[in-house]
Amino acid sequence: MGNPGTAPVAVVTGAARGFGREIARRLVARGHRVVITDLDEAAVTATADELGATGIAADARIAADHARVAAAAVELGTVGVWVNNAGVLKAGKVWEQSDDDIALMIDANVHGVIHGSRAAIGVMRERGGHLLNIASMSAHGPVPGLAVYAASKSAVLNFTTSLQGDLDLDGIPIRAHALCPDAADTALVRAEQGHRDTAILHSQKTLLTPGAVADAAMGLLDGKRLVLSLPLRRAVMARSGSVLPSIALPVLARMRAQGERRRVAGS
């Protein structure tokens, strides 16, 4: 078992790049002993070397991989932070997407968060800690072109808030958080930028930076707030779309047209 006297330990999944890497960078700077995971073994090793973290090749879709990561983290010390960041984005209309792409998004985005949360609770339930699940602005309302992705992130948000209720009922001193950022300039988004169905992601004038999202993540980990959406004004718009979809969908169509112009210009 880890030594409680050592620096606190944090785990960040999907941290070879993007949000995960910047969150891990900030946790290292705060004095945490950080364990980062990624499916890409070469990338996670390189990022771990860059940050001064421990890198483990792991598949967020597999419960046993989370258990293996948790065991490795406990060997380093007392785990106080766990961030489920690993996720997949595949744009497209559901009837045009492959079975494999749909399964990948649900497995990585939903099952990955559930398995990771269970592993986190297993190692933090006695001393307490913070569990952060990365959701998305798309969790709040309809997102034409990204229906499966939006559904998976809605599941992450609802799972996290429901989980906090269960933790409270059982007196487990873990605070769960869900971060819902708008579209950001990450490899995840850039990889899909050539697809017309990502147009809605470009309806804002500028994409968020991974650093801005990581800063917001740190703010959540410092407090008790359950859900944070970034930026707030877009969250208000997205939530209204969920309440009044018949009104919101035509508005989203116009936003998509605007985003398409920016997508093409940026491709």
pLDDT in tens, 132-143: 999 999 999 888
- Name the residue range of residue 181's domain: 9-197+205-239
Residue 243 has pLDDT above 90, yes or no: no
Nearest to 133, CA basis, from 177, 184, 188:
177
Q: Please enumerate in sequence order all residues whose Cβ is within 8 A of that of 154, keeping only pairs 6 or more positions apart, or say none.
A: 135, 138, 139, 140
Does residue 149 have an active-site annotation?
A: yes
Mean pLDDT computed over every residue of the chain: 89
CA distance 174 to 224: 10
193 domain-assigned: yes
Structurally, the chain folds into a number of domains equal to 1
Give the rounded percent of residues in the chain with a pLDDT score beyond 70: 83
255 domain-assigned: no
128 domain-assigned: yes
Comparing 48-57, 209-218, 256-265, the range with the smallest average pLDDT is 256-265
Residue 102 has pLDDT above 60, yes or no: yes
256 domain-assigned: no
Q: Which of the residues 35, 47, 48, 149 is marked catalytic?
A: 149
Query: Which tens digit of pLDDT belongs to each residue from 151-177?
Result: 999 999 999 999 999 999 999 999 999
Provide the CATH number for the domain around residue 158: 3.40.50.720
Give the rounded percent of residues in the chain with a pLDDT score beyond 90: 72
Nearest to 32, CA basis, from 9, 66, 65:
9
4 domain-assigned: no
| pTM reported for the whole predicted model | 0.88
CA distance 243 to 267: 33
Residue 263 has pLDDT above 60, yes or no: no
Query: Which tens digit of pLDDT belongs to each residue from 106-118?
Result: 999 999 999 999 9
Average pLDDT over residues 73-88: 97
| Banded pLDDT at 4 (limits 50, 70, 90) | very low
Phi-psi region of 240 (alpha: psi -120 to 50; beta: other; left: phi over 0): alpha
pLDDT at 187: 72
Bigger pLDDT: 191 or 227?
A: 227
265 domain-assigned: no
Q: HSE of 63 in the Cβ direction (CA atoms, 13 Å)?
A: 5
Residue 196 has pLDDT above 70, yes or no: no
Handedness of CA 14, 18, 21, 25 (dihedral sign): negative
245 domain-assigned: no
Q: In this structure, what token pair is assigned to residue 266?
A: 């940026």
Q: Please enumerate in sequence order all residues whose Cβ is within 8 A of that of 233, keeping only pairs 6 or more positions apart, or say none.
A: none
123 domain-assigned: yes
